[in-house]
Amino acid sequence: MRLMIVGAHPADAVDCAGGTISQHAGMGDEISIVTVTDGMDSHTKGICTVKDKRGEVVKALDCLSSDPRNRICFMGLKDEPFTPVRNNTVDLVELIRQCQPDILITHHPNEYAHWDHAEVGKMVCRALKGAIKRPGDDKWWVNNVYFFATQFRPETARVGYVPQAPDVLIDITASIEKKIKAMCCFKSQGHDDERAMRERMNSFEREMGRADGLRYAEGFISYYPLKMRILPVSTFNQGFYNKDKEEKEDGR
């Protein structure tokens, strides 16, 4: 399969879906990461250039997968605030048609976390429609679209928004170490402390999976309904109340 992950800022794809990216790449799937903005006005610790920021993305993806088919697309737009114009959406339409993803992952258009994220989510939704509507012989329909389930931030409570629960949890226990290493590549965002990053993973990624019996997880919200002829069956039978398995995994 081909996966396309569209992030507003350089670290977003890895931060929100790094474990998932690693595991799909390990199965031979092709990975395309699109970084919409250069992140220079929101995440720049110390002396940093656009070239430095892009280099961090390259290093991070190498930590997750060394597949030579991997590709990174830098749109080079400005952030904080990111305000898309029509040409930006048209450019993204062309990227979707070039990459021809089977799965596309991006920010939820109603995410109340980082305001740039929501704007990118809206732009992606419009580009998805443009990819099948605009003239041309290379029209492309993306079968599966998912949003990052990362809406749990202070702004959520301040504006009275109730975050949507994830539809899908990906067990990233097998790839958590790769994700930690990849996130530590983003020194310009202050993520070069491996111990601190491990603590963060034990807080957020672990909590994302804990209630459903997974050690570490990344959550996603489906844009389209899952279309099946029969109901899908999960391969995981453990849940919050399966304490014996959970304690065994913790070494207790």
* Contact present, 72 and 58 (Cβ < 8 Å): yes
> Which CATH number is 192's domain given?
3.40.50.10320
Listed residue (2, 21, 122, 8) closest to 63, CA to CA: 21
Instruction: Report how far residue 29's alpha carbon sits from residue 17's, in angstroms, rounded to the nearest whole number.
Output: 15
Reported as a single tens digit per residue, the pLDDT across 29-45 is: 999 999 999 999 988 87
User: Residue 252: is its pLDDT beyond 50?
Assistant: no
Number of domains in the chain: 1
* Domain ranges, residue 167: 2-250
At residue 111, the pLDDT reads: 82
Reported as a single tens digit per residue, the pLDDT across 110-141 is: 887 688 999 999 999 999 999 999 999 999 99
Distance of CA 155 to the CA centre of its chain: 20
| pLDDT interval class at 103 (50, 70, 90) | very high
Whole-structure pTM value: 0.90
**H or E element, residue 249:** helix 243-250
